[in-house]
Amino acid sequence: MKYATIYVPDYLKNNRLFSDFYNRYNFYVNSKYIFLKNYFIKYGIELNTQDLNINKKIIFTIYLDNIYRTSKHLNYLIVREPSIIYPSNHDINKFNHYKKIFTYNDKLIDNNRIIKYNSQCFDFKKIKIQKTINQEGYTLITSNKKSNKNGENYSLRYELIDFLNQNNFNFSIYGRGWSQYNSKNKLVESFLNRVPFLRPKQNLKNYKGEVYDKRKTGSKHLFHLSIENTKIHNGLITEKLFDSFFSNSIPIYSGPENIKDYVPEDTFINIDNFDNFNDLFSFTENLKQEQIMNYKYAREMFFNSDKIKYFDAEYNSRVLAKSILNDL
Protein backbone atom coordinates (compact mmCIF):
# COMPACT_ATOMS: atom_id res chain seq x y z
CA MET A 1 0.00 0.00 0.00
CA LYS A 2 1.21 3.49 -0.87
CA TYR A 3 0.29 6.57 1.15
CA ALA A 4 -0.87 10.09 0.33
CA THR A 5 -1.79 13.01 2.55
CA ILE A 6 -4.60 15.53 2.45
CA TYR A 7 -3.73 18.51 4.63
CA VAL A 8 -6.71 19.77 6.67
CA PRO A 9 -7.59 22.10 9.57
CA ASP A 10 -7.36 20.61 13.06
CA TYR A 11 -11.06 19.87 13.39
CA LEU A 12 -10.88 17.53 10.37
CA LYS A 13 -7.81 15.59 11.48
CA ASN A 14 -7.88 11.90 12.43
CA ASN A 15 -9.62 11.28 9.09
CA ARG A 16 -12.75 13.10 10.23
CA LEU A 17 -12.64 14.60 6.75
CA PHE A 18 -13.90 11.23 5.52
CA SER A 19 -16.81 10.99 7.98
CA ASP A 20 -20.14 10.97 6.22
CA PHE A 21 -22.14 13.26 8.48
CA TYR A 22 -25.21 15.38 8.04
CA ASN A 23 -25.42 18.90 9.42
CA ARG A 24 -27.64 21.91 9.05
CA TYR A 25 -25.40 23.91 6.75
CA ASN A 26 -23.72 21.32 4.52
CA PHE A 27 -25.67 18.13 4.06
CA TYR A 28 -23.25 15.23 3.65
CA VAL A 29 -20.53 17.80 3.19
CA ASN A 30 -17.71 15.24 3.08
CA SER A 31 -19.05 12.95 0.35
CA LYS A 32 -16.60 14.35 -2.20
CA TYR A 33 -13.66 13.39 0.02
CA ILE A 34 -15.06 9.93 0.72
CA PHE A 35 -15.39 9.34 -3.03
CA LEU A 36 -11.82 10.59 -3.47
CA LYS A 37 -10.43 8.29 -0.76
CA ASN A 38 -12.25 5.25 -2.16
CA TYR A 39 -11.10 6.02 -5.69
CA PHE A 40 -7.43 6.07 -4.67
CA ILE A 41 -7.82 2.85 -2.67
CA LYS A 42 -8.69 1.07 -5.93
CA TYR A 43 -5.18 1.95 -7.13
CA GLY A 44 -3.41 0.91 -3.94
CA ILE A 45 -3.12 4.40 -2.44
CA GLU A 46 -4.36 5.18 1.07
CA LEU A 47 -5.30 8.85 1.48
CA ASN A 48 -5.20 10.10 5.09
CA THR A 49 -5.18 13.41 6.93
CA GLN A 50 -1.69 14.64 7.82
CA ASP A 51 -1.70 13.44 11.45
CA LEU A 52 -2.16 9.80 10.42
CA ASN A 53 0.70 9.74 7.92
CA ILE A 54 3.58 10.64 10.24
CA ASN A 55 6.68 8.51 9.52
CA LYS A 56 5.07 7.06 6.39
CA LYS A 57 6.49 7.43 2.91
CA ILE A 58 4.19 9.87 1.15
CA ILE A 59 3.87 9.99 -2.62
CA PHE A 60 1.82 13.20 -2.81
CA THR A 61 0.01 15.79 -0.67
CA ILE A 62 -3.28 17.57 -1.36
CA TYR A 63 -3.96 20.94 0.25
CA LEU A 64 -7.38 22.50 0.87
CA ASP A 65 -6.83 26.19 0.02
CA ASN A 66 -3.46 27.85 -0.44
CA ILE A 67 -2.78 28.68 3.22
CA TYR A 68 -0.29 25.99 4.27
CA ARG A 69 3.42 25.42 3.80
CA THR A 70 3.79 22.81 1.09
CA SER A 71 5.71 19.55 1.53
CA LYS A 72 8.71 18.18 -0.36
CA HIS A 73 6.47 15.69 -2.16
CA LEU A 74 4.23 16.21 -5.15
CA ASN A 75 1.82 18.91 -4.07
CA TYR A 76 -1.72 19.56 -5.29
CA LEU A 77 -4.12 22.37 -4.41
CA ILE A 78 -7.91 22.28 -4.14
CA VAL A 79 -9.36 25.78 -4.25
CA ARG A 80 -12.42 26.15 -2.04
CA GLU A 81 -12.64 29.75 -0.86
CA PRO A 82 -12.92 32.90 -3.03
CA SER A 83 -10.30 35.65 -3.13
CA ILE A 84 -12.19 37.85 -0.65
CA ILE A 85 -11.29 35.19 1.95
CA TYR A 86 -7.99 33.75 0.62
CA PRO A 87 -6.50 35.95 -2.14
CA SER A 88 -3.67 33.47 -2.79
CA ASN A 89 -6.25 30.90 -3.95
CA HIS A 90 -6.65 32.90 -7.16
CA ASP A 91 -3.19 34.39 -7.64
CA ILE A 92 -1.43 32.42 -10.37
CA ASN A 93 1.90 33.74 -9.08
CA LYS A 94 1.33 31.85 -5.80
CA PHE A 95 0.96 28.44 -7.44
CA ASN A 96 4.65 27.64 -7.90
CA HIS A 97 4.74 24.90 -5.24
CA TYR A 98 1.96 22.82 -6.81
CA LYS A 99 2.07 20.24 -9.57
CA LYS A 100 -1.58 20.99 -10.34
CA ILE A 101 -4.30 23.30 -9.08
CA PHE A 102 -7.97 22.27 -9.04
CA THR A 103 -10.32 25.25 -9.14
CA TYR A 104 -13.75 26.46 -10.21
CA ASN A 105 -12.28 29.81 -11.36
CA ASP A 106 -12.87 29.76 -15.12
CA LYS A 107 -10.49 32.67 -15.73
CA LEU A 108 -7.53 30.56 -14.55
CA ILE A 109 -8.26 27.23 -16.22
CA ASP A 110 -5.67 26.04 -18.75
CA ASN A 111 -6.63 22.30 -18.69
CA ASN A 112 -2.97 21.45 -18.28
CA ARG A 113 -1.78 22.51 -14.85
CA ILE A 114 -4.85 24.40 -13.65
CA ILE A 115 -7.76 21.99 -13.86
CA LYS A 116 -11.49 22.65 -13.82
CA TYR A 117 -12.87 21.22 -10.58
CA ASN A 118 -15.88 22.18 -8.50
CA SER A 119 -15.37 21.85 -4.74
CA GLN A 120 -18.96 23.07 -4.26
CA CYS A 121 -20.56 19.75 -5.16
CA PHE A 122 -23.20 17.40 -3.79
CA ASP A 123 -24.03 13.73 -3.36
CA PHE A 124 -27.32 13.87 -5.23
CA LYS A 125 -28.13 10.25 -4.41
CA LYS A 126 -28.54 11.23 -0.75
CA ILE A 127 -30.51 14.42 -1.27
CA LYS A 128 -34.27 14.57 -1.55
CA ILE A 129 -36.17 17.62 -2.71
CA GLN A 130 -38.40 18.88 0.08
CA LYS A 131 -42.11 18.25 -0.25
CA THR A 132 -44.00 21.50 0.12
CA ILE A 133 -47.52 22.69 0.84
CA ASN A 134 -48.72 26.29 0.84
CA GLN A 135 -45.40 27.99 0.21
CA GLU A 136 -45.49 31.75 0.60
CA GLY A 137 -43.26 34.77 0.93
CA TYR A 138 -39.51 35.22 0.86
CA THR A 139 -36.65 33.97 2.99
CA LEU A 140 -32.94 34.54 3.49
CA ILE A 141 -31.04 31.81 5.34
CA THR A 142 -27.43 32.77 5.95
CA SER A 143 -25.01 33.99 8.59
CA ASN A 144 -24.77 37.72 9.24
CA LYS A 145 -21.54 38.80 7.55
CA LYS A 146 -19.96 41.92 6.13
CA SER A 147 -16.70 42.55 4.33
CA ASN A 148 -14.59 45.50 3.26
CA LYS A 149 -12.90 43.51 0.49
CA ASN A 150 -13.27 44.47 -3.16
CA GLY A 151 -15.69 42.16 -4.92
CA GLU A 152 -17.80 41.32 -1.86
CA ASN A 153 -21.49 40.66 -2.46
CA TYR A 154 -22.65 40.74 1.17
CA SER A 155 -23.84 44.33 0.73
CA LEU A 156 -26.53 43.20 -1.70
CA ARG A 157 -28.11 41.08 1.06
CA TYR A 158 -28.50 44.13 3.28
CA GLU A 159 -29.95 46.19 0.45
CA LEU A 160 -32.53 43.48 -0.20
CA ILE A 161 -33.34 43.20 3.51
CA ASP A 162 -33.92 46.95 3.73
CA PHE A 163 -36.14 46.96 0.66
CA LEU A 164 -38.28 44.04 1.83
CA ASN A 165 -38.59 45.54 5.31
CA GLN A 166 -39.56 48.99 4.08
CA ASN A 167 -42.20 47.59 1.76
CA ASN A 168 -43.66 45.15 4.31
CA PHE A 169 -43.17 41.98 2.31
CA ASN A 170 -43.81 38.56 3.84
CA PHE A 171 -40.15 37.99 4.61
CA SER A 172 -38.18 35.90 7.11
CA ILE A 173 -34.46 35.87 7.97
CA TYR A 174 -32.76 32.86 9.56
CA GLY A 175 -29.16 32.19 10.52
CA ARG A 176 -26.35 32.93 12.91
CA GLY A 177 -25.20 36.35 14.04
CA TRP A 178 -28.23 38.49 13.21
CA SER A 179 -28.83 39.29 16.88
CA GLN A 180 -25.27 40.59 17.16
CA TYR A 181 -23.72 43.77 15.82
CA ASN A 182 -21.91 43.20 12.55
CA SER A 183 -19.39 45.55 10.96
CA LYS A 184 -16.88 45.57 8.12
CA ASN A 185 -14.39 46.60 10.80
CA LYS A 186 -13.87 43.47 12.90
CA LEU A 187 -12.30 45.39 15.82
CA VAL A 188 -15.38 47.62 16.06
CA GLU A 189 -17.62 44.56 15.75
CA SER A 190 -15.81 42.73 18.56
CA PHE A 191 -15.87 45.76 20.87
CA LEU A 192 -19.57 46.57 20.41
CA ASN A 193 -20.59 42.93 20.94
CA ARG A 194 -18.65 42.92 24.22
CA VAL A 195 -20.30 46.17 25.37
CA PRO A 196 -24.01 45.67 24.57
CA PHE A 197 -25.27 49.04 25.86
CA LEU A 198 -23.16 50.82 23.21
CA ARG A 199 -24.40 48.59 20.42
CA PRO A 200 -26.59 50.36 17.80
CA LYS A 201 -30.14 49.05 17.56
CA GLN A 202 -30.83 46.78 14.62
CA ASN A 203 -34.05 46.20 12.78
CA LEU A 204 -34.67 42.51 13.48
CA LYS A 205 -38.42 42.36 12.97
CA ASN A 206 -37.94 39.71 10.27
CA TYR A 207 -35.37 37.63 12.14
CA LYS A 208 -36.71 34.22 13.13
CA GLY A 209 -33.59 32.73 14.74
CA GLU A 210 -31.24 29.90 13.81
CA VAL A 211 -32.40 26.73 12.11
CA TYR A 212 -31.35 23.09 12.31
CA ASP A 213 -32.43 22.10 8.83
CA LYS A 214 -32.21 25.08 6.51
CA ARG A 215 -33.68 23.24 3.55
CA LYS A 216 -36.74 22.12 5.49
CA THR A 217 -37.19 25.64 6.86
CA GLY A 218 -36.60 27.17 3.45
CA SER A 219 -39.29 24.95 1.93
CA LYS A 220 -41.98 26.94 3.75
CA HIS A 221 -41.20 29.89 1.49
CA LEU A 222 -41.89 30.29 -2.20
CA PHE A 223 -38.85 32.47 -2.89
CA HIS A 224 -35.35 32.05 -1.53
CA LEU A 225 -32.82 34.91 -1.65
CA SER A 226 -29.65 33.13 -2.81
CA ILE A 227 -26.78 35.61 -2.79
CA GLU A 228 -23.21 34.44 -3.39
CA ASN A 229 -20.52 35.96 -1.16
CA THR A 230 -18.83 37.28 -4.30
CA LYS A 231 -19.60 37.47 -8.02
CA ILE A 232 -16.08 38.05 -9.32
CA HIS A 233 -15.10 34.42 -9.98
CA ASN A 234 -16.76 32.89 -13.03
CA GLY A 235 -17.73 29.31 -12.17
CA LEU A 236 -18.21 29.90 -8.42
CA ILE A 237 -21.71 28.57 -7.76
CA THR A 238 -22.25 27.36 -4.21
CA GLU A 239 -24.84 25.71 -1.99
CA LYS A 240 -26.61 29.08 -1.76
CA LEU A 241 -28.32 28.39 -5.07
CA PHE A 242 -28.79 24.67 -4.51
CA ASP A 243 -30.25 25.04 -1.01
CA SER A 244 -33.12 26.84 -2.69
CA PHE A 245 -33.47 24.09 -5.29
CA PHE A 246 -33.40 21.39 -2.59
CA SER A 247 -36.00 23.37 -0.62
CA ASN A 248 -38.31 23.30 -3.66
CA SER A 249 -38.27 27.10 -3.61
CA ILE A 250 -37.55 29.48 -6.46
CA PRO A 251 -34.10 31.08 -6.15
CA ILE A 252 -33.77 34.83 -6.45
CA TYR A 253 -30.11 34.66 -7.31
CA SER A 254 -27.02 36.82 -7.55
CA GLY A 255 -23.87 35.06 -8.73
CA PRO A 256 -21.20 34.95 -11.44
CA GLU A 257 -21.89 36.52 -14.79
CA ASN A 258 -21.51 33.17 -16.56
CA ILE A 259 -24.09 31.40 -14.38
CA LYS A 260 -26.11 30.45 -17.49
CA ASP A 261 -23.17 28.35 -18.72
CA TYR A 262 -23.81 25.99 -15.81
CA VAL A 263 -27.42 26.44 -14.69
CA PRO A 264 -30.37 26.97 -17.09
CA GLU A 265 -31.79 30.48 -16.82
CA ASP A 266 -35.36 29.21 -16.53
CA THR A 267 -34.63 27.52 -13.17
CA PHE A 268 -34.07 30.73 -11.18
CA ILE A 269 -34.72 34.49 -11.12
CA ASN A 270 -31.53 36.40 -11.86
CA ILE A 271 -31.34 39.68 -9.96
CA ASP A 272 -28.97 41.04 -12.62
CA ASN A 273 -31.75 40.89 -15.20
CA PHE A 274 -33.66 43.70 -13.45
CA ASP A 275 -32.91 47.43 -13.35
CA ASN A 276 -34.01 47.83 -9.74
CA PHE A 277 -35.69 46.06 -6.81
CA ASN A 278 -39.10 47.51 -7.68
CA ASP A 279 -39.01 45.78 -11.05
CA LEU A 280 -37.66 42.56 -9.52
CA PHE A 281 -40.35 42.20 -6.87
CA SER A 282 -43.11 43.42 -9.15
CA PHE A 283 -42.15 40.48 -11.33
CA THR A 284 -42.15 37.94 -8.50
CA GLU A 285 -45.39 39.22 -6.99
CA ASN A 286 -47.20 38.88 -10.31
CA LEU A 287 -46.09 35.37 -11.18
CA LYS A 288 -48.99 33.06 -11.95
CA GLN A 289 -49.20 29.51 -10.66
CA GLU A 290 -48.34 28.10 -14.07
CA GLN A 291 -45.17 30.22 -14.22
CA ILE A 292 -44.19 29.09 -10.71
CA MET A 293 -44.57 25.46 -11.69
CA ASN A 294 -42.53 26.10 -14.84
CA TYR A 295 -39.53 27.14 -12.69
CA LYS A 296 -39.81 23.94 -10.68
CA TYR A 297 -40.24 21.78 -13.77
CA ALA A 298 -37.16 23.40 -15.32
CA ARG A 299 -35.21 22.57 -12.16
CA GLU A 300 -36.26 18.91 -12.46
CA MET A 301 -35.14 18.85 -16.07
CA PHE A 302 -31.81 20.37 -15.08
CA PHE A 303 -31.26 17.79 -12.33
CA ASN A 304 -31.87 15.03 -14.90
CA SER A 305 -29.59 16.52 -17.53
CA ASP A 306 -25.90 16.06 -18.27
CA LYS A 307 -25.23 19.59 -16.98
CA ILE A 308 -25.76 18.49 -13.39
CA LYS A 309 -22.52 16.49 -13.39
CA TYR A 310 -20.52 19.69 -12.77
CA PHE A 311 -22.16 19.80 -9.33
CA ASP A 312 -21.90 16.07 -8.61
CA ALA A 313 -19.46 14.99 -5.87
CA GLU A 314 -18.60 11.63 -7.42
CA TYR A 315 -17.91 13.14 -10.84
CA ASN A 316 -15.62 15.87 -9.46
CA SER A 317 -13.75 13.41 -7.25
CA ARG A 318 -13.10 11.21 -10.27
CA VAL A 319 -11.78 14.20 -12.27
CA LEU A 320 -9.37 15.09 -9.49
CA ALA A 321 -8.18 11.54 -8.80
CA LYS A 322 -7.59 10.68 -12.48
CA SER A 323 -5.60 13.85 -12.99
CA ILE A 324 -3.29 13.02 -10.06
CA LEU A 325 -2.94 9.37 -11.04
CA ASN A 326 -1.79 10.45 -14.50
CA ASP A 327 1.19 12.13 -12.82
CA LEU A 328 2.30 9.06 -10.89
- Which DSSP letter does residue 88 get? G
Q: Are residues 35 and 162 in the same domain?
A: no
Query: What per-residue string of b and e applies to 110-144 under the rule 16 or more CB within 10 Å gives b?
Result: eeeebbbbbbbbbbbeebeebebeebeebbbbbeb
Q: Are residues 47 and 162 in the same domain?
A: no
Q: Are residues 102 and 135 in the same domain?
A: no
Domain that holds residue 64: 2-121+312-325
Q: Are residues 237 and 117 in the same domain?
A: no
Q: Are residues 167 and 275 in the same domain?
A: yes
Q: Are residues 275 and 163 in the same domain?
A: yes
Q: Are residues 159 and 291 in the same domain?
A: yes
Q: Are residues 246 and 294 in the same domain?
A: yes
Query: What per-residue string of b and e applies to 264-277 under the rule 16 or more CB within 10 Å gives b?
Result: eeebbbbbeebeeb
Q: Are residues 153 and 107 in the same domain?
A: no
**Domain containing 162 — which CATH number?**
3.40.50.11660
Per residue of the chain (328 residues), give pLDDT as tens. Answer: 999 999 999 989 999 999 876 554 455 578 999 999 999 999 999 999 999 999 999 999 999 999 888 878 899 999 999 999 999 999 999 999 999 999 999 999 998 999 999 999 999 998 889 998 899 999 999 887 777 788 899 899 999 999 999 999 999 999 887 766 555 555 645 544 555 544 445 556 788 888 888 899 999 999 999 999 999 999 999 999 999 999 999 999 999 999 999 999 999 999 999 999 999 999 999 999 999 999 999 999 999 999 999 999 999 999 999 999 999 9
Q: Are residues 99 and 158 in the same domain?
A: no
251 φ, ψ (degrees, to nearest 5): -70, 135
Q: Are residues 145 and 240 in the same domain?
A: yes
